Amino acid sequence: MNNKTFTARGEYARADVFLSENLDGYTRSAVKKLFESGFVSVGGKTVKPSQQINCGDIVNVTLPDAVEYSAKPEDIPIDIVYEDSDIAVVNKPQGMTVHMGNGNVDGTLVNALLFRLDKLSGINGVIRPGIVHRIDKDTSGLLVVAKNDAAHLSLSKQIEEKTCKRTYLALLEGNLKQDSGTVTTYIGRDPADRVKMAVVPPEKGKIAITDFAVLKRYIENFTLCRFDLHTGRTHQIRVHAKYLAHPIVGDPVYGVKKQKFKLGGQLLHALRLELVHPKTEERLTFEAPLPEYFSKVLNKLNEI
């Protein structure tokens, strides 16, 4: 453990805001974990993130020691569409879990990354090295990976400030009548099934904002739709599609019980990713073609 002490030079409404501004190398989520672990104290007393900080207050933080990766490298083929010394962009296939958890101890994207890449950031700990954001196991498409902590902090900030653009394509059940719009709700654990997420009251979840635009309507009563994320809640697009009363085709959790097509998961693809390179500050744009199983379904609908 490593201890750091700060003396407040001004007034702060919240202790987490004070630490975010003064503790280099820590994202907001990492600062939050320090409070949850009881590692932050003011005047010798453990405090909550909402604690007011007054000028002259002595703020002490205990920083956990860095630990080695617990995930092991595995020789799993993955599609790396871009790589340099700071980042890598991966086109993840459907069926691959991003990192360890919920019984997944191997065969994950992290296992493959540890084998393919020379280094990964350590900010997200031993289970999720390099992982800045994630996509669901049965969702395909693009995500960016950080190869060092400076890149990780930059990318995390871009996601928080919504300057990192993430665009998805999905095939929806039924005819979505609106041509475009924005869904703004709060998403949290489904009170009836803790494995699922759901639209919940504000006090029970976190705000979730998704733009949508219809690309094509099929006479067989399906809608091809583009989704743009403003926030990144768990299962956000899938929950919002269900909220619109047009769940994603093939979704085993939020979709209809009787599926027309034999699929291994939802027809949801992270098509486009736009970001600013952490070092060069160049605006980069990446696109990943639809996987074959997704294209086959669209081709069948086009023939009808």
H-type helices in 94-196, by residue range?
Answer: 109-116, 149-160
Say how many CA atoms lie within 13 Å of 86 toward its Cβ.
13
Question: What is the rounded distance in angstroms from the CA atom of residue 210 to the CA atom of residue 227?
Answer: 7
The tokens for 52 are 């007011």
**Catalytic annotation present for 138:** no
**Catalytic hit among 16, 57, 86, 136:** 136
Question: What is the rounded distance in angstroms from the CA atom of residue 191 to the CA atom of residue 226?
Answer: 29
Question: What is the rounded distance in angstroms from the CA atom of residue 16 to the CA atom of residue 21?
Answer: 9
In sequence order, the 6+-apart residues with CB closer than 8 A to the CB of 281 are: none
Q: Are 73 and 18 in contact (CB under 8 A)?
A: no
Amino acid at 274: E
The tokens for 183 are 């869904």
The residues annotated as belonging to the active site are 136
